[in-house]
Structure 1
Amino acid sequence: MSTLADVKPGGAADAASARGGGSGALARLDAALGMIVEIPVALLVAAEIILLFSGIVARYVLHTPITWSDELASILFLWLAMLGSVVAFRRGEHMRMTAFVGWAPPAARAFLDVFAVAAALGFLLLVIGPAAEFAIEEYEIVTPALEISNMVRAGALPVGLGLMIATALIRLGRVGSVRLVAGAAALVVALMAAFVLLQPALAGLGKLNLLIFFVGIVAGTVFAGVPIAFSFGLASFGYLALTTKVPLLVVVGRMDEGMSHLILLSVPLFVFLGLLIEMTGMARAMVAVLANLLGHVRGGLSYVLIGAMYLVSGISGAKAADMAAVAPVLFPEMKARGAKPGDLVALLAATGAQTETIPPSIVLITIGSVTGVSIAALFTGGLLPGVVLAAMLCVVVWYRYRGEDLSHVRRPTGRELGRSLVVALPALALPFVIRAAVVEGVATATEVSTIGIIYSIAVGLMVYRRFDWRRVVPMLVETAALSGAILLIIGTATGMAWCLTRSGFSTDLAQFMAGLPGGSFTFMAVSIVAFIILGSVLEGIPAIVLFGPLLFPIARQMGVHEVQYAMVVILAMGMGLFAPPFGVGYYVASAIGRVSPDEGMRPILGYLAALMVGLALVAAIPWLSIGFL
């Protein structure tokens, strides 16, 4: 998460809306809702950047720390997460699995897209009452620094959920087919009613309910195209409501807990940084110098693609932003040299998986926040595994392009190479600026992204003279939407993880994994297979939030270093995320490269085999992950 939105966000429901047009009143209401949410959420992202950077200046430069800055940042963060979720829901950008939906006939696809909205609406209606109750209960709690009611922060939950309910109703109203909407809504209501009627039977099934709710419901809704966050929420809410006597506001409390880790504030800030380096031309400058260095070598631009993704990944932390920054620069020239489009998109997807451990990856930040592993250690340990996988990909590139005709390619002069290097130096310095700030104690892992943002703005304005002020607000809104989609998954996945722990599943899992023959070798092998599967179905972040707290203690018991285990888990999930036919990252790479996904299916097999060899080396040689700690 890396974290990736749907390739075709709106889906057939939005297509039906476009055909039907909806009423003019609903269209105006939708536009008004967009304005109501998008302007405040853009201001919230900007406010967090200013607040955290001010905290760095006050503490490190003025030596007068702002005691209330973290508290205010936490309050604003929950509002950013919930309003960002609203923006993502309105745009149809919540993460969902579309493989099976995409294979369905047009009529079934249209129904499933509407069903996804109706199912999400069902969850929102069920949880908004407990969310309001939770916010009211927080009224008596006073924050220590600002001395204001915690209800100011907790109120973001019912407000965000309420706005998503309004959004869902508008989207359903604009579908343009009453029959389609009625059928989808009726199916959702019938399924919920069936579970309520079966409650007496469910109460006596014990742990079999885990299979019904956390396998059956989650798998059924995810494969039907329901956004992952709402699938998790429906399973957790149903499990607590129908099989336990736990108050339902516990679901909201766990959502609040999952979305409120201040370390996660670096997610939107690094997402914005990724958009910023593309807009200011910094990514283009880095790619240009690599192209001049290797463009005259057989397969040289493929090596450039691998190296560019490594460099850009170290800055943005968001794989979609990485691919969008690199592919448009390299693909036209690579196609002109005879590269097949399918091979290009296959390599782009493979580099997305290869760079999952490059700091400041959002998945690294997430794994640190939910497992307690040091973020600084993860940032240090993630560099070399990425190099190992890059080397494996380079072997495949060398083999495939060993006979490439370069007679028409001109080798750049030393002057041209030197000029491109000088131009790229400010951009190439950014990863070192970020890492130096963390190592020297200037900023925390949460704050350091703001240093990168200020640096990128300064370089864009004064060095590259490319800074489109008109794009700033849309970029802030886009940042909030992607972050909201990610954070809502973390919130609902935290609720599900709590339910699994409370049920005793974590104890059973620990006993099963610890009892496997072969000790740590078998444990690592099973973990790799499991997380490749989880990465393809759930994507990295929800899988980490669900299973990280359960498996990392077992890894420690097995004698596996937690940083090495984190690298193995992240790389395995990356392979699943970018591997067809289920990995959504592969389809995002296809969309960015404007290449049919079918064309890359065969070429990616060789790259996946190379990644598996690299992953096996990382799993077998602990030094690759912990040698520099």
Structure 2
Amino acid sequence: MIGGAMSGSLSPTAAENAAAARSAASGFGRLDAAFFGLIEHVAAAIVLVEVGVLFAGVVARYVFHAPLVWSDELASILFLWLSMLGAVVALRRGEHMRMTGCLGLAGPQTRAVLEALAILVPLGFLGLVLHPALDYASEERFIVTPALEISNVWRAAAIPVGLSLMVLACLARLARAASFKAVVIALGLTAGLMVAFYLLGPVLKPLGQINLIIFFVGVVALCVFAGVPIAFAFALATFGYLALTTRTPMLVMVGRLDEGMSHLILLAVPLFIFLGALIEMTGMAKAMIAFLASLLGHVRGGLSYVLIGAMYLVSGISGSKIADMAAIAPILFPEMKARGAKEGDLVALLSATGAQTETIPPSIVLITIGSVTGVSIAALFTGGMVPALVLGLCLCTVVWRRYRNEDLSHIRKPAWREIGKLAIVALPAIALPFVIRAAVVEGVATATEVSTIGIVYAVLAGLLIYRRFDWRRIQPMLIETASLTGAIIFIVGCATAMAWGLTQSGFSRNLAQAMAGIPGGAYGFLAVSIVAFIILGSVLEGIPAIVLFGPLLFPIAKAAGVHEVHYAMVVIFAMGIGLFAPPFGVGYYGACAISKIHPDEGLKHIWGYVAALLVGLVLVAAIPWLSIGFL
């Protein structure tokens, strides 16, 4: 009895076990939040420092005629750290770009396994590449930067540090996973596939370019459709191809990753993302939309025309489609619904305008094309305006047809005095895209630096003109900027490494020969490119597809007689249609999430808008003057 009593007192009850588990989970959650919260704040601080450094460089050069020779170098060092820390934040939050269409079709248990795979596959790649990344950073310590005269290890160390933190982010997400069984199954699948490929190494080497299909089609497709983040799908396929079928040191792959993430022009990405958030927060977007609504709100389908025009204008400011949609939909949709518009038609049109405005400067896709292909950013900015207008007019024809019988008897037409007041209020916001473009064309600032002029302009307009500036929102906006930047730039780096692997294999030479043999000359080449990039845009999204195939196809387009700016407009619109059209287009689901409308509602309404976009794309492809007439 005594022994039994003592045994009972020492054995914890089920309730005590559950309480201990909750306490441990709570303690882990606090530690997790504190650690990664610190990383988020560091990344946010780097965004602010980047703005300060680049704006100081513009002022010193243009106002005081005393250039800061070290500003670009410091900005480049900080940018790599921002990209890697932003990628950590995005991984921890589950915000890396990935295709989730197949997950929605799977049952609950299968979906849980796929979600675990989306964490374990990146973790497997990170474990493989971490040691080469450390070696790469160690090699860089012997290089001294020209302006700051410090060891380049201060910059290169961002890669192994970022990869190590990503490992911790993956482990933290696994610890929070709901199903231990799903994690075990996914772990077994991941480990089994990696061991299988390792054992098959001697068999794969003699296969030559067939390995390109195995790794860059098979492995990438398997990962992408399983919901693995696209960047890690690219990276794992490239690592496997180089490690198992070539003698290339993995240090070289890390170098290509670094190269892809180190284009200074890409620094415009976080700055324009932050600018877009500022435009919404300061009320500048709301002022523009109110003015447009006063002009067109009393005509049939007027607010739909306002939506198209507002996306055209706001895209010229923010450069981020998510920021554009978030600025416009909450303002316009309530009134449009009150007038009887169907929710499905609203989200369909919003998604279509996302594709229509992809070429409005300073589009992030335009900046990416310029950075990876060498095409003039200023020329791309100039060439993108008219093609977007053409697609906008095509969308307007669909709006006219659908709303030609709309009842507007209850709508009041505003007086011209009221319209004039709204125009005055909106003028500072409408002027911003023209200020940005003029600064680039006139040489006041580079395409990277001009975003800082926009940021300062938006801050001053918010404080002094619109008197609307919520300081409490700045920190979350900076963290969101860092997260989205990390997700985008890490994809660019991984896709650059993958493109290098394809080039070294001789694929680019074979591709050039195949594309050169397409009948129909320049127009045949454009037709094939349109089909290819619509598919690529729906599966890979715009930026990964451009980074991967841009350096390969743009020289071929030039050899075929297609102007580089014209070709850029065609492929951007083709990718945009793929990106914003269901069932695979991630942009369409982004529009639904922002609008808080179920994706099924828009399916029966969107195809008319997609048809209009295709007609506009054919016009842009067939008439080069639309893209290059004002260069």
Q: Tell me whether the two structures share a fold, i.e. TM-score over 0.5.
A: yes
Alpha-carbon offset, residue 20 of structure 1: 8.9
Given candidates 485, 488, 491, the residue that maps to 1:486 is 488
Alpha-carbon offset, residue 328 of structure 1: 0.5
Query: What residue is the counterpart of 1:455 in the other structure?
Result: 457
What is the identity, as a one-letter code, of the residue corresponding to 1:580? P
Query: What residue is the counterpart of 1:171 in the other structure?
Result: 173
Query: What residue is the counterpart of 1:37 in the other structure?
Result: 39
Q: Distance in 1 between matches of 2:163 and 2:466?
A: 42
Q: Superposition pairs for residues 412-491 of structure 1, below 5 Å?
A: 412-491=414-493
Query: What residue is the counterpart of 1:12 in the other structure?
Result: none
Alpha-carbon offset, residue 21 of structure 1: 9.8
Alpha-carbon offset, residue 435 of structure 1: 1.1
Given candidates 315, 340, 347, the residue that maps to 1:313 is 315
Q: Distance in 1 between matches of 2:578 and 2:23?
A: 38
Q: Distance in 1 between matches of 2:586 and 2:405?
A: 33
Q: Superposition pairs for residues 103-114 of structure 1, below 5 Å?
A: 103-114=105-116
Q: Specify whether residues 21 and 319 from structure 1 end up closer, same or farther in structure 2 by C-alpha distance, changes over 3 A only.
A: farther
Contact 2:354–2:576 under 8 Å retained in 1: yes
Contact 1:258–1:494 under 8 Å retained in 2: yes
Q: Confirm whether residue 27 of structure 1 aligns to residue 6 of structure 2.
A: no
Query: What residue is the counterpart of 1:15 in the other structure?
Result: none
Q: Distance in 2 between matches of 1:528 and 1:160?
A: 37
Q: Specify whether residues 67 and 47 from structure 1 end up closer, same or farther in structure 2 by C-alpha distance, changes over 3 A only.
A: same
Query: What residue is the counterpart of 1:533 in the other structure?
Result: 535
Query: What residue is the counterpart of 1:136 in the other structure?
Result: 138
Q: Distance in 1 between matches of 2:397 and 2:489?
A: 37
Query: What residue is the counterpart of 2:545 in the other structure?
Result: 543
Alpha-carbon offset, residue 40 of structure 1: 0.8
Query: What residue is the counterpart of 2:117 in the other structure?
Result: 115
Contact 1:22–1:176 under 8 Å retained in 2: no
Alpha-carbon offset, residue 460 of structure 1: 0.1
Partner secondary structure for residue 602 of structure 1: helix
Q: Specify whether residues 617 and 513 from structure 1 end up closer, same or farther in structure 2 by C-alpha distance, changes over 3 A only.
A: same
Alpha-carbon offset, residue 409 of structure 1: 0.6
Given candidates 154, 157, 160, the residue that maps to 2:159 is 157
Given candidates 574, 580, 583, the residue that maps to 1:572 is 574
Q: Confirm whether residue 280 of structure 1 aligns to residue 282 of structure 2.
A: yes
Given candidates 488, 496, 499, the residue that maps to 1:497 is 499
Q: Superposition pairs for residues 177-256 of structure 1, below 5 Å?
A: 177-256=179-258
CA displacement, residues 370-419 of structure 1 (integer Å, 9 cap, x when unaligned): 00000000000000000000000000000010000000111111121111
Query: What residue is the counterpart of 1:16 in the other structure?
Result: none
Query: What residue is the counterpart of 2:6 in the other structure?
Result: none
Given candidates 310, 324, 327, the residue that maps to 1:325 is 327
Partner secondary structure for residue 405 of structure 2: coil
Q: Superposition pairs for residues 349-388 of structure 1, below 5 Å?
A: 349-388=351-390
What is the identity, as a one-letter code, of the residue corresponding to 2:186? A
Q: Superposition pairs for residues 44-63 of structure 1, below 5 Å?
A: 44-63=46-65
Q: Distance in 2 between matches of 1:558 and 1:131?
A: 40
Partner secondary structure for residue 475 of structure 1: helix
Alpha-carbon offset, residue 177 of structure 1: 2.9
Q: Distance in 1 between matches of 2:351 and 2:571?
A: 18
Contact 2:123–2:170 under 8 Å retained in 1: yes
Partner secondary structure for residue 195 of structure 1: helix
Query: What residue is the counterpart of 1:267 in the other structure?
Result: 269
What is the identity, as a one-letter code, of the residue corresponding to 2:75? A
What is the identity, as a one-letter code, of the residue corresponding to 2:344? G
Contact 1:114–1:184 under 8 Å retained in 2: yes
Contact 2:204–2:245 under 8 Å retained in 1: yes
Aligned-pair RMSD on alpha carbons? Answer: 1.0
Alpha-carbon offset, residue 65 of structure 1: 0.6
What is the identity, as a one-letter code, of the residue corresponding to 1:394? C
Alpha-carbon offset, residue 300 of structure 1: 0.2
Q: Distance in 2 between matches of 1:315 and 1:22?
A: 47
Q: Distance in 2 between matches of 1:192 and 1:292?
A: 61
Q: Distance in 2 between matches of 1:107 and 1:178?
A: 11
Contact 1:350–1:608 under 8 Å retained in 2: yes
Query: What residue is the counterpart of 2:556 in the other structure?
Result: 554
Higher mean displacement: 19-28 or 217-226:
19-28
CA displacement, residues 186-212 of structure 1 (integer Å, 9 cap, x when unaligned): 111110000001111101111000000
Partner secondary structure for residue 207 of structure 2: coil
Q: Distance in 2 between matches of 1:462 and 1:556?
A: 48
Contact 1:21–1:174 under 8 Å retained in 2: no
Partner secondary structure for residue 90 of structure 1: helix
Alpha-carbon offset, residue 574 of structure 1: 0.2
Q: Distance in 1 between matches of 2:508 and 2:578?
A: 23
Contact 2:109–2:182 under 8 Å retained in 1: no
Q: Distance in 2 between matches of 1:108 and 1:411?
A: 55
Alpha-carbon offset, residue 477 of structure 1: 0.7
Alpha-carbon offset, residue 33 of structure 1: 2.0
Contact 1:568–1:618 under 8 Å retained in 2: yes
Contact 1:278–1:284 under 8 Å retained in 2: yes
Alpha-carbon offset, residue 517 of structure 1: 1.4
Structure 1 runs of 4+ off > 4 angstroms?
19-22
Partner secondary structure for residue 166 of structure 2: helix
Q: Distance in 1 between matches of 2:303 and 2:108?
A: 39
Structure 2: segments with no counterpart, 5+ residues: 1-20
Alpha-carbon offset, residue 501 of structure 1: 0.3
Q: TM-score, normalised by structure 2?
A: 0.96
Largest Rg, 1 or 2:
2
Q: Confirm whether residue 595 of structure 1 aligns to residue 597 of structure 2.
A: yes
Count, aligned residues: 611
Alpha-carbon offset, residue 487 of structure 1: 0.3
Alpha-carbon offset, residue 176 of structure 1: 3.8
Contact 2:112–2:179 under 8 Å retained in 1: no
Contact 2:300–2:404 under 8 Å retained in 1: yes
Query: What residue is the counterpart of 1:5 in the other structure?
Result: none
Given candidates 88, 102, 123, the residue that maps to 1:86 is 88
Query: What residue is the counterpart of 2:10 in the other structure?
Result: none
Q: Distance in 2 between matches of 1:466 and 1:538?
A: 38
CA displacement, residues 540-580 of structure 1 (integer Å, 9 cap, x when unaligned): 00000000000001101110000000000000000000010
Alpha-carbon offset, residue 25 of structure 1: 3.1
Alpha-carbon offset, residue 433 of structure 1: 1.1
CA displacement, residues 276-322 of structure 1 (integer Å, 9 cap, x when unaligned): 00000000000000000000000000000000000000000000000
Q: Distance in 1 between matches of 2:53 and 2:570?
A: 35
Query: What residue is the counterpart of 2:565 in the other structure?
Result: 563
CA displacement, residues 506-541 of structure 1 (integer Å, 9 cap, x when unaligned): 000000000111111111000000000000000000
Higher mean displacement: 68-77 or 168-177:
168-177
Q: Which has the higher contact order (CA 8 A, sep 6+)?
A: 1
Q: Distance in 1 between matches of 2:23 and 2:120?
A: 19
What is the identity, as a one-letter code, of the residue corresponding to 1:44? I
CA displacement, residues 79-118 of structure 1 (integer Å, 9 cap, x when unaligned): 0000000010111100000011111112211111111101
Alpha-carbon offset, residue 22 of structure 1: 7.5
Q: TM-score, normalised by structure 1?
A: 0.96
Contact 1:281–1:466 under 8 Å retained in 2: yes
CA displacement, residues 171-228 of structure 1 (integer Å, 9 cap, x when unaligned): 1012143222111111111100000011111011110000000000000000000000
Query: What residue is the counterpart of 1:390 in the other structure?
Result: 392
Query: What residue is the counterpart of 1:4 in the other structure?
Result: none
Query: What residue is the counterpart of 1:3 in the other structure?
Result: none
Contact 1:202–1:209 under 8 Å retained in 2: yes
Partner secondary structure for residue 204 of structure 1: helix
Query: What residue is the counterpart of 1:411 in the other structure?
Result: 413
Contact 1:22–1:173 under 8 Å retained in 2: no
Alpha-carbon offset, residue 36 of structure 1: 2.2
Q: Distance in 2 between matches of 1:82 and 1:535?
A: 25
Contact 1:20–1:174 under 8 Å retained in 2: no
CA displacement, residues 20-39 of structure 1 (integer Å, 9 cap, x when unaligned): 99722321221122222011
Contact 1:318–1:362 under 8 Å retained in 2: yes
Query: What residue is the counterpart of 2:336 in the other structure?
Result: 334
Q: Specify whether residues 531 and 33 from structure 1 end up closer, same or farther in structure 2 by C-alpha distance, changes over 3 A only.
A: same
